[in-house]
């Protein structure tokens, strides 16, 4: 089980949280202006990286608030957590899997 | 079986038994990669090896390489719970998975290799009124497609699988089940080994410890080969069959995939005497169980929640599944588990696979099998080989394109099953 650092509550076990998918995917401001390719991108295409992944989490069984995290998908090691609305932190790319 | 391999038979087994089974030849070669092939398959799992086998057997291509980062059958082929069934809701899926089941039924003879396909029946348990409605709808839809699937009452379910508890005090009591009698299990390693042996005998080079690090394209954008950890290998046709790593391999050609990769865990118990007669699946409470011929209970869990490539997953996920197993089968409450592990499964938004050409000429992809790809292994290889050989999809896999997400033609087994499956 992962230990997740909620920006509001501190470190809590993963079972208190709900995963919310890739972060920083903004809802299109003018949906009717999108063509099929842009809709596909918004609805279905995800980065699915083998490495640092920006993602949403919700501290469901705690403060119940959403926040974002960067986690290395090769190790499940959390590189950062930050509040919703804040920009994704600039992180040095980890050299290799820890 | 191709003629240049000694065949397995009762006589050959007997003869080898007198020699202490020390006289068996290697079942496939370990060749050095050549500079060029007619076709390259990336990934020597069951699907990739089956693709190579059918390319050689049915389409006359013999100059083929299967490139594998690790060892053959070491990914999800060796990590799944080996459930085979075809009782899917939608016509497209039913046709594809039943094509596979039909190939399973003749596979041991086809390969002259015992894949231990056992049609012991797959029960899918219903625990809620909604489950009952959904499964009955599946039964009717399957019947229209000529696929066997029948509804059992709770008592009939218990009769078919006596270890099941019908205790009405359970959190999710058993209200009935859908049964596909043609469903069952097979020996996962034997499937990979059988296809590897068959493909190798027809001249296919299976190259292990050879990681693809780049996809080469010519001035027109068409594929002309791959870069690997063992040098450049040229080919005008490249088929990517890389399961959880499909996104990373396809990114080498600049193709983005509608996929996310999740850990899926399974575990086995200590071996016990034969006690469990069939396969039981419960999508609602995420428990999948059968007994292997070695006697181990083979138990599958649901996926972990988050994207990951760790082949681990959290212990609370397997604990959750064991909670359900213990409630459904009280006799297993004191069983000890021997091993658990994870595989990385590539999941599409509609939980149906992609077996298709891509926008890049010469680049083909077979992926998105999610949590249920083992059952499709022969059909997947068979149809993907067709697609690569003819540069157009077979009628059965034609709907399973990448473009279906752009065009809105989803094959939404995710909604049909309400979970990944």
Q: Indicate the residue of B260, B261, B316 with minimum beta-carbon distance to A15.
A: B316
3-state SS of chain A: helix, strand, coil percent to 5? Answer: 15, 35, 50
Q: Which residues of B touch A40 (CB under 8 A)?
A: 258, 405-406
Chain A: closest CA distance from residue B317 (Å): 9
| Helix B188-201 with B46-59: angle, nearest 10 deg | 30
Average pLDDT of every residue of chain B: 95
- Confirm if B8 and B24 have CB atoms less than 8 A apart: no
Tens digit of each residue's pLDDT (9 = 90 or more) over B120-176: 999 999 999 999 999 999 999 999 999 999 999 999 999 999 999 999 899 999 999
Q: Indicate the residue of B260, B310, B316 with minimum beta-carbon distance to A48.
A: B260
Tens digit of each residue's pLDDT (9 = 90 or more) over B212-250: 999 999 999 999 999 999 999 999 999 999 999 999 999
Q: Which residues of B touch A71 (CB under 8 A)?
A: 306
Above 70 in pLDDT, residue B417? no
Kindly list the residues of chain A whose beta carbon comes within 8 Å of any beta carbon in chain B. Answer: 1-2, 14-15, 18-19, 22, 36-37, 39-40, 43-50, 53, 55, 71, 73-76
Q: Of B91, B90, B150, which is closest to residue B123 (Cα–Cα)? A: B150
ipTM for the whole predicted complex goes beyond 0.90: yes
Counting as low any pLDDT under 70, the low residues of chain A are: 93-98
Helices assigned H by DSSP within B171-238: 188-201
Q: Do A37 and B306 touch (CB under 8 A)?
A: no
- Region B390-417 average pLDDT: 93
Q: Do B312 and A76 touch (CB under 8 A)?
A: yes
For the entire predicted model, the pTM comes to 0.95
Q: How far is CA B194 from CA A62, B52, B251, in A?
A: 51, 12, 31
Residue B6 pLDDT class (50, 70, 90 cuts) = confident
- Reported in sequence order, the residue ranges of B82-204 that DSSP labels E, i.e. its strands, are 83-84, 122-126, 150-153, 176-180, 184-185
Above 70 in pLDDT, residue B418? no
Neighbours of B89 (CB within 10 A): 20
Chain A: closest CA distance from residue B406 (Å): 5
């Amino acid at each position: 089980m992962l230990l997740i650092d909620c920006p509001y509550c501190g470190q809590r076990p993963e079972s208190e949280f709900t995963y919310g998918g890739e972060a920083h995917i903004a809802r299109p401001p003018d949906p009717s202006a999108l063509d099929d390719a842009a809709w596909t991108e918004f609805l279905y295409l995800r980065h699915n990286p083998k490495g640092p992944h920006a993602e949403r989490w919700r501290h469901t069984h705690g403060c119940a608030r959403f926040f974002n995290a960067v986690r290395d998908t090769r190790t499940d090691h959390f590189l950062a957590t930050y509040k919703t609305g804040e920009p994704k932190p600039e992180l040095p790319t980890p050299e290799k899997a820890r | 079986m191709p003629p240049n391999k000694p065949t397995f038979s009762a006589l050959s087994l007997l003869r080898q038994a007198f020699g202490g089974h020390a006289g068996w030849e290697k079942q496939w070669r370990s060749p050095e990669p050549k500079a060029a092939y007619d076709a390259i398959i990336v990934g020597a799992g069951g699907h990739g090896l089956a693709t190579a086998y059918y390319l050689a057997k049915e389409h006359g291509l013999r100059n083929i390489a299967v490139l594998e980062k690790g060892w053959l059958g070491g990914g999800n082929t060796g990590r799944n719970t080996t459930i085979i069934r075809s009782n899917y809701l939608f016509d497209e899926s039913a046709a594809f998975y039943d094509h596979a089941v039909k190939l399973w039924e003749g596979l041991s003879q086809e390969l002259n290799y015992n894949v231990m396909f056992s049609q012991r029946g797959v029960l899918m348990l219903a625990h809620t009124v909604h489950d009952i409605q959904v499964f009955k709808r599946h039964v009717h839809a399957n019947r229209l497609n000529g696929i066997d699937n029948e509804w059992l009452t709770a008592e009939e379910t218990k009769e078919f699988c006596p270890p099941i508890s019908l205790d009405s005090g359970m959190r999710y009591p058993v209200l009935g089940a859908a049964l596909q009698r043609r469903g069952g299990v097979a020996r996962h390693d034997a499937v990979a080994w059988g296809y590897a042996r068959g493909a190798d005998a027809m001249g296919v080079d299976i190259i292990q410890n050879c990681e693809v690090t780049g996809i080469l394209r010519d001035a027109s954008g068409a594929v002309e080969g791959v870069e690997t950890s063992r040098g450049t290998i040229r080919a005008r046709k490249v088929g990517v069959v890389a399961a959880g790593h499909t996104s990373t391999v396809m990114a080498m050609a600049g193709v983005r995939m509608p996929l996310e990769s999740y850990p899926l865990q399974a575990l086995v118990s200590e071996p016990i005497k034969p006690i469990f007669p069939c396969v039981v699946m419960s999508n609602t409470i995420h428990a999948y169980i059968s007994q292997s011929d070695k006697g181990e209970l083979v138990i599958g869990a649901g996926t972990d929640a988050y994207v990951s490539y760790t082949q681990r997953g959290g212990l609370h996920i397997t604990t959750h599944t064991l909670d359900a197993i213990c409630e459904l089968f009280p006799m297993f409450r004191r069983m000890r588990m021997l091993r658990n592990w994870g595989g990385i499964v590539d999941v599409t938004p509609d939980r149906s696979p992609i077996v298709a050409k891509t926008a890049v000429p010469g680049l083909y992809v077979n992926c998105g099998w999610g949590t249920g790809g083992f059952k499709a292994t022969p059909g997947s290889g068979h149809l993907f080989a067709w697609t690569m050989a003819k540069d157009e999809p077979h009628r059965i896999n034609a709907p399973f394109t990448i473009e279906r997400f752009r065009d809105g033609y989803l094959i939404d087994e995710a909604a049909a099953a309400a979970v990944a499956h």
